[in-house]
Amino acid sequence: MADVLDRLYALGLPLISHAGEERAVLGNDIQEFGNPLRLRRALDAGVRVVVAHCASMGQDRDLDKGENGPFVDSFQLFSRLFEDRRYEKNLFGDISAMTQIDRAAPALATVIEREDWQPRLLNGSDYPLPGVMPIFSVDELVSMGLLQAAAAPVLKEIRTYNVLLFDFVLKRTLRSGGKAFAPRVFETRGFFERLKG
């Protein structure tokens, strides 16, 4: 594993890792690998790490309290890492799928409201999932107060034609605590260009 991390670091390539509960792949034995705290090894090696979905669903063991530590929300563990100053330069969060019904509350509101986190957030689509009903629900986001009711019909219409555009417009329209995702969250090209070493 150290060789892989060394290569990623040398090439300036990010490690994109799912974190939190995984439902797309079957098997209970894989869940422990989604623990955000397990990404410290890559982070400590200097690798840029992108945590998919900001670990916004499920629970993982709090390994900071030992191998038998209590289970806590995966998003709480992600937040702990994100707040760790050691990882300010190489830990990032991906907001793909965070508008899913199972992921939206309270993690989605938190990432929208935390303006200090936004320079380290990256938009992804998790395509084709934005087109799968009922995983995503515009009406549910309206009921949570994250979306104005007037935007719902337009978003639903966009979704019938182009699910990627729907995902983009939906995220640009979300509001929580009077705040929205900053434009830079959607300007990801620079992040994925090879770093000059």
pLDDT tens for each residue of 139-163? 999 999 999 999 999 999 999 999 9
User: What are the counts of helices (DSSP H) followed by strands (DSSP E) for the chain?
Assistant: 9, 6
Tell me the two tokens of residue 13: 């390539």
CA 144 vs CA 17, 60, 76, 135, 156: distances in Å: 28, 25, 20, 15, 17
CA-CA distance, 59 to 175, in Å (whole number)?
26
Distance separating the N- and C-terminal Cα atoms of the chain: 22
pLDDT at 104: 85
CA 41 distance to own-chain centroid: 19
Cα Dmax for the chain: 52
List, for residues 42-87, the tens digit of each pLDDT value.
999 999 999 999 999 999 999 999 999 999 999 999 999 999 999 9
The pairs formed by 58-66 with CB atoms below 8 angstroms and a separation of 24 or more are 58/20, 58/21, 58/22, 58/31, 58/34, 59/21, 60/20, 60/31, 60/32, 60/34, 60/35, 60/36, 61/32, 61/35, 62/37, 63/35, 63/37, 63/38, 64/37
CA-CA distance, 184 to 1, in Å (whole number)?
32
- Averaged pLDDT, 114-118: 97
Q: Rounded to the nearest 10 degrees, what angle do helices 163-173 and 152-161 cross at?
A: 160
User: If pLDDT is split at 50, 70 and 90, which confidence band does 135 have?
Assistant: confident
